[in-house]
Amino acid sequence: MTEEITYANLKFENSHELDNITEPEDTKEKGAPASSSVWRPVAFAFLALCLLLLTGLIALLALFFQVSKDPEEGKKLQEMREALCFEGKEKNETKCAVCPASWQNSGADNCFYISKQKKTWKQSQEFCSSRNSTLLVLKDKAKMVSLPQDSQFYWVGLSYISERSGWYWEDGTAFSKEATNWVMLYDNIFCASLYGRIIYASHPCLTKQFWICEKVAVHFT
């Protein structure tokens, strides 16, 4: 009888120990959902932000295409073209070249600025550069049709560069006597200027003269 009671007590104690061992595992399993609940709102917030950015991008693209197809904008551009290209319209031309105010249209693709004051060659070069242009590059004699035919000298974009031991145009190309026989060179210390139909390199670069700037015209089609 005593042995049966002792066996029952041992069985009860072992069963109680097993229950104590399994309790921490239950506790860990119950803690897992708590960790997941922390990251779930963060994921939803990130997803909502991505959707918001995508919606904004779509709205901007829609606005861009709406503006680009705005008929009023096209009408304004057409009115501007007609106002600036009146002469070309009379000739039924499909496009025209427009020059800034105070600049002359060469009748082709170039605009000329004829100065009303005198500067040195370097000062004239700086003036043209500040207007997104260069001193006149006259490698094509046809350009002379639109240039002044008075008794004044005008600085042009041709000078002697001692570091390179040669004459160079403002566009960086070397002067060729064979290709431009209307240029008269005298000395390597001079800069070139236009007089009538001839370019003379006979004045020191510090001499103050008128000058001619050149730039590409803006085209309307």
pLDDT value for 124:
97
Residue 85 domain-assigned?
no
Residues 6+ apart with CB under 8 A from 46: none
- Both 12 and 113 in one domain: the answer is no
Most confident of 17-31, 89-103, 128-142: 128-142
* pLDDT beyond 60 at 171: yes
> Which one, of 146, 160, 167, lies nearest residue 214 by Cα?
146
* pLDDT beyond 50 at 7: no
In the predicted model, what is the mean pLDDT of the chain?
75
Q: Give me the residue label for tokens 């709205």.
A: 59
Number of domains in the chain: 2
- Both 49 and 115 in one domain: the answer is no
The domain boundary, picked from 36, 69, 102, lies at: 69
pLDDT value for 29:
46
- Both 193 and 126 in one domain: the answer is yes
* pLDDT beyond 50 at 90: no
Q: What is the DSSP letter of 164?
A: G
The domain boundary, picked from 17, 52, 69, lies at: 69
Which residues are registered as beta bridge partners of 135? Answer: 213
Residue 74 domain-assigned?
no
Which residues are registered as beta bridge partners of 183? Answer: 199
Q: What is the DSSP letter of 187?
A: -
Render pLDDT for 152-164 as a digit per residue (tens, 0 to 9). Answer: 999 999 999 888 8
- In a 10 Å sphere around its CB, with 0-12 CB exposed, 13-18 middle and 19+ buried, how is residue 47 labelled? exposed
Q: Give, for 161, the enclosing helix (H) or strand (E).
A: strand 154-161
The CATH number of the domain where 123 resides is what?
Answer: 3.10.100.10
CB atoms within 10 A of CB 128: 22
- Both 141 and 191 in one domain: the answer is yes
* pLDDT beyond 90 at 142: no
- Both 65 and 132 in one domain: the answer is no
What whole-number percentage of the chain has pLDDT above 70?
Answer: 63
Residue 41 domain-assigned?
yes
- Both 156 and 54 in one domain: the answer is no
pLDDT, average across residues 73-92: 53
The b-or-e profile of 5-43 (16+ CB within 10 A means b, else e) is: eeeeeeeeeeeeeeeeeeeeeeeeeeeeeeeeeeeeeee
Give the residue with greater pLDDT, 66 vs 186.
186
- Both 109 and 214 in one domain: the answer is yes
pLDDT value for 194:
93
- Both 55 and 8 in one domain: the answer is yes
* pLDDT beyond 70 at 28: no
Domain that holds residue 10: 1-69
- Both 109 and 51 in one domain: the answer is no
> Which one, of 160, 135, 169, 156, lies nearest residue 199 by Cα?
156
Q: How far apart are CA 147 and CA 106, in angstroms?
A: 8
pLDDT, average across residues 164-171: 90
